[in-house]
Amino acid sequence: MRYSIEGTPLPVVICQLENGESMITERGSMSWMSPNMKMETTSGGGLGKMLGRMFSGEALFQNRYTAQNGDGMIAFASSFPGSIVPVTITPGNGVIVQKSGFLASEESVELSIFFQKKLGKGLFGGEGFIMQRLSGNGVAFLEIDGHAVTYDLAPGQSIVVDTGYLAYMSESCTMDVVTVPGIKNVLFGGEGLFHTVVTGPGQVVLQTMPISAVASTLMPYFPQSSGN
């Protein structure tokens, strides 16, 4: 598989597949393709993985696109202003991704839900705390909301991230969800109830314009229903 990423601020990744090569996506992200690309809707690994994807906010089924009778082309476009980042997955070197960040990948990449050690806080921590694990072997394409900022964390080094700004991290990193200290900070600080603390070793990639933050900013400007 060869690819090129084109366009800003709404990029598209255009993939050139050899005969028999396949790619998967979960959200109907295919934008255009050559006529010889065959689509199949699959469970992507059985009932257990289907339920895991549902719990993480993704679709129950995956779409597999395969080049048949020769080389093929398929394109996957971003759904929000930002960037598309290619990530190479190898055995033992997977990544943990925000639940809306997966765009598409080679078929050899496996998707599963990522559980927090403190599941209760993970469930109530809001956007960005229920995530996906990408493992296996191959290239995955991830959507970044806004601009991507990368930090390489040393063993034991941490960074505190506001809700929704964590795009993805190496699976070698650990993550904890902590409450914002102080009732005054919670009520008047405007930063929400929870922060994410990511600890190395590994790479963490942050995004500057999470869609949840954009929605919160725009909400006051939309007319409110009177309920009548």
What mean pLDDT is reported for the chain?
Answer: 82
φ/ψ (deg, to 5) at 47: -60, -40
Give the domains, in start order, of the chain with CATH numbers: 2-219 (3.60.160.10)
Q: Which two tokens stand for residue 180?
A: 């914002």
- Write down the pTM of the prediction: 0.82
CB 73 within 8 A of CB 17: yes
Question: Which tens digits make up the pLDDT trace of 178-218?
Answer: 776 545 444 444 455 677 899 999 999 999 988 777 766 77
Please determine, for residue 45, whether its predicted confidence score (pLDDT) is greater than 80.
Answer: no
Average pLDDT over residues 120-142: 73
Residue 71 C-beta-side C-alpha neighbours within 13 Å: 7
Q: Which of 71, 154, 53, 181 is nearest to 113 (CA)?
A: 53
SS3 215: helix
Question: Which tens digits make up the pLDDT trace of 134-170?
Answer: 999 999 999 999 999 999 999 999 999 987 899 999 9
Q: What is the predicted pLDDT for the residue at 219?
A: 76
Question: Residue 180, class by beta-carbon neighbours within 10 Å (0-12 exposed, 13-18 middle, 19+ buried)?
Answer: middle
Question: Which tens digits make up the pLDDT trace of 9-37?
Answer: 899 999 999 999 999 998 778 999 999 99
d(C-alpha 165, C-alpha 96), whole Å: 13
